[in-house]
Amino acid sequence: MRMRKKKNLQPRMESCETCWIKEPKELRGTWHTLMPEAKEIHLELGCGKGRFTCEMAQTHPDVLFLAVERVPDAMIIAMERAVSMGMCNVFFIDGDAEVLSDYFAEGEVDRIYINFCDPWPGHRHARRRLTHEGFLKRYRAVLKEKGEIHFKTDNRDLFEYSLFQFPKAGYELSEVTRHLHQHGVVGVMTDYEEKFHTQGMPIHRCVGTKGDLSLPKEVEADSKEEA
């Protein structure tokens, strides 16, 4: 997302201190202390302007919502939105999804949302996609057993690619649809989603559930023969 540089970014960030986590590494393993009564911790990666996270937090007041966004010029809009909505169960980290396990301890997160991530077309930059096998494997470190990744995109190529990546990284796929809103709007929309849906583009969605990360079949067979 190309964001125009915001004027007065720093003072605006400071005025959102109630929902801005400046030192996420210090909360590693203790995020529940932000909301001890929360029944689960849900994390959005690349929240952009934050419509999804804020509206989800409003709809699910018993869940602690956290959002990671690496562009502060986008995240400030999300934080100002949360403050103006008076939200108490949503917090923001200006950080990188690449290093999630610096922020979260093993199994600390119940669910991850990846919405309309940058598709990085072409083979050369495939590793940068937030649904690349390498990223999905890294998320395993912070997701609890049977934890879920909910993924939405307008990009058909990225979607089909991702459907191969999830099983390779040890996630079981479910709720696969290539036209989420075919019969009317389903669930909370993101800023990007509303734009694409209004333009008549189908939205794709799936859920990946963390399972065993088994060895590829041929490696399993080899190791049995050796034993």
Query: Quick one: which of 13, 43, 56, 68 contacts ligand SAM (CB under 6 A)?
Result: 68
Count of residues in contact with ligand SAM, rule CB under 6 A: 21
Instruction: Evaluate whether 215 touches 223 at the Cβ level (below 8 Å).
Output: yes
Rule CB under 6 A: is residue 136 a binding residue for ligand SAM? Answer: no
List the one residue out of 143, 68, 67 whose CA is nearest residue 105: 143
Question: One-letter amino acid identity for 137?
Answer: K
Q: Which residue do the tokens 């075919």 mark?
A: 182
Sequence-distant (6+) residues with CB within 8 A of 83 are 15, 16, 18, 19
Nearer to ligand SAM, 1 or 221 (CB): 1
Query: Quick one: which of 9, 71, 213, 215 contacts ligand SAM (CB under 6 A)?
Result: 71
Tokens of 166: 């999830």
Q: Which of 118, 157, 212, 222 is catalytic?
A: 118
List the one residue out of 112, 71, 113 whose CA is nearest residue 93: 71
Name residues contacting ligand SAM, limited to 74-113 (CB under 6 A): 74, 96-98
Nearer to ligand SAM, 116 or 159 (CB): 116
Exposure pattern of 1-39 as b/e (b: 16+ CB <10 Å)?
eeeeeeeeeeeebeebeebbbeebeebeeebeebbeebe
Residue nearest to ligand SAM (CB): 46
Say whether 118 is catalytic: yes
Considering the complex, what minimum distance in angstroms separates the CB of residue 59 from ligand SAM?
17
- Site map (CB under 6 A) of ligand SAM, residues 180-219, x = contact: ----------xxxx--------------------------
Catalytic residue positions, numbered: 118
Instruction: Give contact residues for ligand SAM (rule: CB under 6 A).
Output: 1, 45-48, 68-71, 74, 96-98, 115-118, 190-193
